[in-house]
Amino acid sequence: MNQRQTMLGGSILGLLGVALGAFGAHALKGLLMENGRMETYELAVRYQFYHAITLLTLGSLPEKFGSSMLRWASLFIFIGVLLFSGSLYGFALTNVTGFALVTPLGGIMLLIGWGALTYSLLSKKHSP
C-alpha cells in the first residue's frame, strides 16, 4: 500500500470502528448479550482501533524510513484487521464458529505486518 492508501485505510478503519462500536453498544447490544458475545465484539472493535491508529502512523513514516517493506507492513496489517476483526464481528453476531476459524489467520497477518514493520525500522538508516 502506498502512503495515501495506508492513511486512507487507517481512516476508514477508524470511522468504521466508531460506527461499529456505537452500533454494538446500542442497536446490537441485545443480540450480543443473547449470544454471550459482547466481549468478543468489543475485542474486534478494540483491535480495529489499535490498527487504524497504526496505519495512520505508518502512513507518516515513508519520508523518514522510506522502504518498500513499510508498504508490505501496511498491507498485511490492513488485511489482518479485516480478517481478525471481521471474523470476530461475524462470530459475535451469528455464533457461527466458522467465523472464529478465520480469526487466527487474521492474527497471523497482523504478526507478519508487525514483523515487516520491525524489519523495515531495523534495516534502514534513517534521518534524525
Torsion of CA 11, 16, 22, 25, to 10 degrees: -130
Cβ contacts of residue 112 below 8 Å, gap of 6+? 76, 80
Residue 123 binned pLDDT confidence (cut-offs 50, 70, 90)? confident
**End-to-end Cα distance, the chain:** 25
| DSSP per-residue string spanning 101-120 | HHHHHHHHHHHHHHHHHHHH
Cβ(118)–Cβ(61) below 8 Å:
no
**Mean pLDDT on 59-83:** 86
**Mean pLDDT on 56-84:** 87
Which grid coordinates belong to 124?
A: 534502514
Cβ contacts of residue 15 below 8 Å, gap of 6+? none
Residue 104 binned pLDDT confidence (cut-offs 50, 70, 90)? very high
**Mean pLDDT on 1-17:** 94
Give the residue extent of every domain in the chain.
3-122
Rounded Cα distance, 81 and 106, in Å: 6
Cβ(17)–Cβ(48) below 8 Å:
yes
